Amino acid sequence: MKKTVLLILSFLLFAIFLNAQTKINVVVIGAHPDDCDNDAGGTAILLAKAGHNVLFVSVTNGDAGHYEKGGGALAKIRRAEAQEAGKRFGVKYVVLDNHDGELMPTLDIRLNIIRAIRQWNADIVIGPRPNDYHPDHRNTAVLIQDAAYMVIVPNIAPDTPPLKKNPLFLYTEDGFQKPTPFQPDVAVDITTVFDQKIYAMSAHESQFFEWLPWTSGKLDQVPKTEADRLKWLAEWRSPGINDKVKESLTKWYGNEKASQAKYAEAFEICEYGGRPTDEEIKKLFPFFN
């Protein structure tokens, strides 16, 4: 009897160990509370649904993103919106307390990003490219690039144990052409979770239904009911799949599945992080198989 209990116990422990080994830990970093959502939200939902661990980090608190609200009061609204979005995505959402529109790639913030990546034991880190119209986006990209490699150096931020391995660092998609256009090395078919992505994004009410329509002169077009708003946001935030992304989808999913994809998120491999083989990438994105 005792032997059977011991056997079952050791089997359970082994199963827990195996499970811990196969969890993929992902950190998505954006400049503002809503950037991670927009650029990698569908991929985050797919990973979270499969039981993996996803963390969203907004490097600024978003306290400049409105036409009539601002400062601490706006930061409070945006923190609450991010928490609600995190629940809807199935991820943990952390908003750092740096001013919006004034972000600089300082050593202090770099060290905090290194700590966050280490504490999450990241296998993948996702963030913007350093070519972008918004200085906060550019400086977030610099902060992430400066954290790559340093996350394995024990004497940097020695209060937080270093990672054993440099994670895969990925850039999110953008349309900027200079100095080099975005290259979709990895593309994820998010068709099955697109509606959930839009619903989760809509938690950022102050952004998608107030600030961003205001900046593009279409505040008067924002629908009133929740159902109409979701439809409107989906139409606004669903760019088609371009030829290069289609090519990448075909590489990872095969012709048939790629041709059925309606929505995708694409990523470019950053040269400063780990450089996995195609086989290793397939393990990090288990839905490719």
- Residues within the interface to Zn ion (CB under 5 A): 31-32, 35
Question: From the CB of 66, what's the least distance to Zn ion, in Å?
Answer: 13
3-state secondary structure at position 27: strand
Closer to Zn ion at the Cβ: 31 or 74?
Answer: 31
CA distance 171 to 78: 24
Closer to Zn ion at the Cβ: 128 or 274?
Answer: 128
**Contact by Cβ (8 Å): 182, 130:** no
Question: From the CB of 139, what's the least distance to Zn ion, in Å?
Answer: 11
Q: Where are the alpha helices (DSSP H) in the chain?
A: 2-22, 35-49, 71-89, 107-119, 135-147, 194-201, 205-206, 212-215, 226-236, 243-253, 255-260, 278-284
DSSP secondary structure code for residue 286 in this structure: G
Q: Using CB positions, name the residue nearest to Zn ion.
A: 32
Question: From the CB of 172, what's the least distance to Zn ion, in Å?
Answer: 11
Closer to Zn ion at the Cβ: 135 or 161?
Answer: 135
What number of other Cβ atoms are within 10 A of residue 84's Cβ? 15
3-state secondary structure at position 152: helix
**Contact by Cβ (8 Å): 36, 30:** yes
Distance of CA 206 to the CA centre of its chain: 20
CA distance 48 to 90: 6
Closer to Zn ion at the Cβ: 35 or 123?
Answer: 35
Closer to Zn ion at the Cβ: 30 or 273?
Answer: 30
Closer to Zn ion at the Cβ: 35 or 210?
Answer: 35
Question: From the CB of 78, what's the least distance to Zn ion, in Å?
Answer: 11
Question: From the CB of 137, what's the least distance to Zn ion, in Å?
Answer: 6
Question: From the CB of 32, what's the least distance to Zn ion, in Å?
Answer: 4
Closer to Zn ion at the Cβ: 123 or 136?
Answer: 136
If you write DSSP's letter for every residue of 181-220 in order, what string do you get?
A: ----SEEEE-GGGHHHHHHHHTT-HHIIIIIHHHHTT-GG
Measured in degrees and rounded to the nearest 5, phi and psi for residue 133 equal: -70, -25
Question: From the CB of 25, what's the least distance to Zn ion, in Å?
Answer: 24
